[in-house]
Structure 1
Amino acid sequence: MNVDDIALSLARFAHGMKLEDVPPAVRERARHLMLDALGCGLAARGQDYAARLSDTVFDLGQETQGQAAVIGFGRRLAARDAALLNGLLCHGLDFDDTHMAGIAHLSVSVLPATMALGGRLDASGEHLLAAYIVGLECGARIAKCVRGGLTAQGFHPSAVVGAFASTLAAGRLMELDEAQLMSAQGIALSLASGPLEFLQTGAWTKRIHPGWAAQSGITAATMGKHRIPAPPAPYQGRFGLYSTFLSTELRAAVEPALAVAGLDQLSDPSAWELMDIAVKPYPMCHFAHAAIEGATRFHDQDIDPAQVARIDVFVPEGVVPTICEPEADKRRPQTDYDAKFSLPYSIACGLVLGRLGLEELRPERFSDPRLVAVMDKTHYTVDAESTFPRHYSSHVQLTMADGTTRMERVPINPGHAERPLPGERIVAKYRANATLHFGEAHAQAVLDAVMNLERHTVREMEALLGQEPK
């Protein structure tokens, strides 16, 4: 029997990791990531997609007895339905964290899975934190060794890898043994999905992906608990993840050793992939963040956009299909999701407005003639020297009406582990998001609970989060 070394190593880690052995810096980072995801979920409460998709999930769950809380709602759902809805709420604004090298949003599948399951199991906050850390670390490692290949192949890593990450996190919370965790990972292989076709129209399907991964993780872990026979080589097998989800060319670039490197050296915070998960400063595709910063620098220099004849943005080849092409469509976003994945719109907001927040994603903004004029001047060029996917770099060059050029280089995107947002800025972002529809006292109560998670239970967390806006 061909047993997968990656699956076995991750099963052993998920089963054997002790929270007390996790460095304090890693535990604090995990709490900040959790807080950031919850803030994104609370901010989504007033969005049209949140209303319509929540109606859909409540419709699906109407015949079940509610067990788990939903962020920002007073109604409860069965655990898997709650995980689905919480995942799409936390990810829907595309403002949630990203593991850089893996190009994966992990918190928005792992946290919904562990919270929904943790409430049902009456788990402690300590157990929730341990499971969350397991899910993030394992997911980041599974994604990292693909070296951007899933995105290049047309799959959303957050969806595909999120199913495995959520499975391992749920399995940890359920206290599965190594054999059960192996079975669970094999089952997750059959549940992982998520194509990038939404990019063609700005469709809402991307928002569903992390919640579906969370739901799949609970399902796979539960099947593993009952020792359902499953493929023992879910990653490296003949028809495993790295074979069936990647072309022959992309498969050749996979480095399986990256998935397990340093698992025996985790007393050092730098050995944790979790520490390379970046918090977003902008509610946009992470690929555009360096470009936004470069354009904003020009705004801060009082550059008059009317005096700019042409804008060239140097980007990694790997981001072109996501934020640059088709070029004509990227210059004319029609929906907020179109805008989130538009390099020209990112540049226009940075240069003209000097900012890009949730307010700039309202559809009425897209027809602003000042922004349209800049989008029409924006072009992209592949930067062959980019360190992508380690960094999501961009360099922005302006050619002025008099023929002179000016360049702003951003080799490391803001929020990256090498340029991290400090804890106080993450908290400030959380507060801004959490108070869009909820009061200051509610936001503070959630903040206190997350930052002191070991003193609370998951059910106490659910009671706070499962409230309607006032």
Structure 2
Amino acid sequence: MSALTATRIPSSAAGLPPRITQELAARSAALCYTDLPEDVRLRVCQCLLDWIGVTLAGACEPLVHMLAEEAREQGGHAQATVVGHAMATSTRQAALINGAASHALDYDDVNMACTGHPSVVLIPALLALAESRGVSGRDFMTAFAAGYETMCLLGLATGEAQYAKGFHTTATLGTIGAAAACARLLQLDADDTATAFGIASTMAAGLKSMFGTMCKPLHAGRASADGLQAAQLAARGFTSCADAIECPQGFMATHGGNASLETAVPNGGWHLRHNLFKFHAACYGTHAAIEAARRLRLQHALRPEDVRFVTVRVGAASEGVCNIAEPLTGLEAKFSLRHTVAMALAGVDTAGLDSFSDDAVHAPDVVALRERVTVELAPQCPGLTLGEVVIETHTGTMLRQRHDSGRPAKDLHEQQQRLEDKFRRLVEPVLDASERDALIDMVARLDTLTDLSPLAGMLARRACARLL
């Protein structure tokens, strides 16, 4: 703990909300590898594999090239790998670029406890820090779990207030989650970890109004980079409020939330057990409706010409997230319930990246079907993971299907196979079969790696060159 400390009366002494900052910091700092159950360790490896796949694929997106070129112009010490670009830069720049790349396709994992995307803010910062400092796979796994649990605990403590206000919680909660992960990797004690949370809190930002633009993936990169910097500054003795999350004019007061951690611990004890992976290349808020529409098409052998009218019922939260009525770009289509449901009913592969190109969004058959889709905000479908699709056919038949996309997989081995299939498909354009297999194998034995240099080395190749 630095000799320089912020002076503030603890919130509990002032009769204010509980000491959330200190409690979160203590939990995070105390976490050890041996605390992680076997299934949680497997889930950490699955998160990393999925992250590598979406990041290698996303590294070739224009927004990532812009960020990489900006880093090249600015220069800096070559401390950490920029995935897919055959370059190394500072840890902060690497976290920024890799975080944006991993969220560029909106194909990364989700946890509804934080209504956001944990891996895209945690892994870029941790990978940059681990590569520059030479830490083991087990230390990486422990730090990832610490950041993940912190982000989700804080998400439940703040409730839905932040998201309802218009904050992108991947950015806001993610900045503190990344700070927790990096503080754990740096082996900071509870007091210094709380300081890191304070530094992260004052940098946390990101607006939902930016969904459908390049700024949404930038949110993930910024959260990762800012969380990393918060932990590094705390390690140097930088000061902040020791109760920054819950104090007056602090994180919760300004961003939203007023609960305690008492109701934030999930059944089973680990938020990682509730991680959700994407198998459609669109906003997770569209997944329930996609699955419902897809099932109706397959069960009833529906053709687009059979469909007279479609009603999609979703929660009110979808309005500011994934209800772009007339998408003009592939990126906007990822946030359009009308368009993604039309894709599902037309038999378009919603798992394929090409299906969300700028040209594909204007496909006449999909656009014509989209004109028959109406979205209703329904109280019977709360949150972002429940959806109902009702189809009226030209023969007058009414077809109805509901789906809940918020249920995590029970069979982890089946999930592993699906993730490996997704991974291979994502990186096929940039890696050959032997490289794909080598990465899958390396991630599977992450806990045996004494340092992550071999992994970083495999990600450092100029994969995007194959697509240029």
> What TM-score, normalized by structure 1, do the two folds share?
0.91
1:285 and 1:303 mapped to 2: Cα distance? Answer: 25
Q: Give the 3-state SS of the residue equivalent to 1:396 in structure 2.
A: strand
- Report the CA distance between 1:227 and its aligned residue: 2.7
Q: Is the 8 A contact 1:148 1:318 kept in 2?
A: no
2:54 and 2:77 mapped to 1: Cα distance? Answer: 27
- Please name the residue that 2:3 is paired with: none
Q: Give the 3-state SS of the residue equivalent to 2:158 in structure 1.
A: coil
The one-letter amino acid paired with 1:116 is: A
- Please name the residue that 1:363 is paired with: 358
The one-letter amino acid paired with 1:342 is: S
- Report the CA distance between 1:338 and its aligned residue: 0.6
Q: Is the 8 A contact 2:330 2:359 kept in 1?
A: no
- Please name the residue that 2:314 is paired with: 315
- Please name the residue that 2:91 is paired with: 79
1:93 has 2:92 as partner = no
The one-letter amino acid paired with 2:113 is: A
Q: Is the 8 A contact 1:281 1:414 kept in 2?
A: no
Q: Give the 3-state SS of the residue equivalent to 1:287 in structure 2.
A: helix
- Please name the residue that 1:217 is paired with: 227
Q: Give the 3-state SS of the residue equivalent to 1:385 in structure 2.
A: coil
- Please name the residue that 1:6 is paired with: 20
Q: Is the 8 A contact 1:289 1:414 kept in 2?
A: no
The one of 278, 281, 290 equivalent to 1:280 is 278
Q: Give the 3-state SS of the residue equivalent to 1:311 in structure 2.
A: strand
2:361 and 2:92 mapped to 1: Cα distance? Answer: 37
- Please name the residue that 2:15 is paired with: none
Q: Given the superposition, is the C-alpha separation of residues 293 and 194 from structure 1 closer, same or farther in structure 2, using an over 3 Å criterion?
A: same
Q: Is the 8 A contact 1:331 1:375 kept in 2?
A: no
Note the aligned Cα RMSD (angstroms). Answer: 1.9
1:462 has 2:467 as partner = no
- Please name the residue that 2:262 is paired with: 257
Q: Is the 8 A contact 2:109 2:118 kept in 1?
A: yes
The one of 221, 228, 231 equivalent to 2:238 is 228
Q: Structure 2 matches for 1:169-208, cutoff 5 A?
A: 169-199=181-211, 202-208=212-218
- Please name the residue that 1:164 is paired with: 176
The one of 402, 405, 420 equivalent to 1:413 is 405
**341-350 vs 374-383, greater mean Cα deviation:** 374-383
1:423 has 2:416 as partner = yes
Q: Give the 3-state SS of the residue equivalent to 2:375 in structure 1.
A: strand
Q: Give the 3-state SS of the residue equivalent to 2:425 in structure 1.
A: helix
1:367 and 1:120 mapped to 2: Cα distance? Answer: 45
1:377 and 1:151 mapped to 2: Cα distance? Answer: 30
Q: Give the 3-state SS of the residue equivalent to 1:441 in structure 2.
A: helix
Q: Structure 2 matches for 1:117-156, cutoff 5 A?
A: 117-156=129-168
- Report the CA distance between 1:442 and its aligned residue: 1.6
Q: Given the superposition, is the C-alpha separation of residues 419 and 141 from structure 1 closer, same or farther in structure 2, using an over 3 Å criterion?
A: farther
- Please name the residue that 1:292 is paired with: 290
Q: Given the superposition, is the C-alpha separation of residues 419 and 153 from structure 1 closer, same or farther in structure 2, using an over 3 Å criterion?
A: farther
Q: Is the 8 A contact 1:296 1:355 kept in 2?
A: no
- Please name the residue that 1:402 is paired with: 395
- Report the CA distance between 1:226 and its aligned residue: 2.4
- Please name the residue that 1:266 is paired with: none
The one-letter amino acid paired with 2:263 is: L
Q: Is the 8 A contact 2:98 2:124 kept in 1?
A: yes
- Report the CA distance between 1:54 and its aligned residue: 2.1
**141-150 vs 314-323, greater mean Cα deviation:** 141-150
- Report the CA distance between 1:344 and its aligned residue: 0.7
Report Cα offsets for 1:293-336 as digits up to 9, x if no partner. Answer: 11112222321222322111110111122122xxxxx3421112
- Report the CA distance between 1:400 and its aligned residue: 1.9
The one-letter amino acid paired with 2:68 is: S
Q: Structure 2 matches for 1:297-376, cutoff 5 A?
A: 297-300=295-298, 301-324=300-323, 330-356=324-350, 357-376=352-371
Q: Give the 3-state SS of the residue equivalent to 1:278 in structure 2.
A: coil
The one-letter amino acid paired with 1:295 is: A
1:147 and 1:417 mapped to 2: Cα distance? Answer: 24
2:94 and 2:395 mapped to 1: Cα distance? Answer: 58
Unmatched runs of 5 consecutive residues or more in structure 2: 1-8, 12-17
2:263 and 2:379 mapped to 1: Cα distance? Answer: 24
**225-234 vs 22-31, greater mean Cα deviation:** 225-234
> What TM-score, normalized by structure 2, do the two folds share?
0.91
- Report the CA distance between 1:173 and its aligned residue: 0.7
Report Cα offsets for 1:249-301 as digits up to 9, x if no partner. Answer: xx46x454234x37xxxxxx821011111000111000000111111122223
Q: Give the 3-state SS of the residue equivalent to 1:347 in structure 2.
A: helix
- Please name the residue that 2:5 is paired with: none
Q: Give the 3-state SS of the residue equivalent to 1:99 in structure 2.
A: coil
Q: Give the 3-state SS of the residue equivalent to 1:139 in structure 2.
A: helix
The one of 21, 35, 47 equivalent to 2:49 is 35
Q: Give the 3-state SS of the residue equivalent to 1:437 in structure 2.
A: coil
Q: Is the 8 A contact 1:281 1:415 kept in 2?
A: no
Q: Is the 8 A contact 1:331 1:372 kept in 2?
A: no
Q: Give the 3-state SS of the residue equivalent to 1:290 in structure 2.
A: helix
The one-letter amino acid paired with 1:361 is: F
The one of 66, 70, 73 equivalent to 1:52 is 66
**45-54 vs 276-285, greater mean Cα deviation:** 45-54
1:372 and 1:239 mapped to 2: Cα distance? Answer: 47
Report Cα offsets for 1:234-254 as digits up to 9, x if no partner. Answer: 2211112221013xxxx46x4
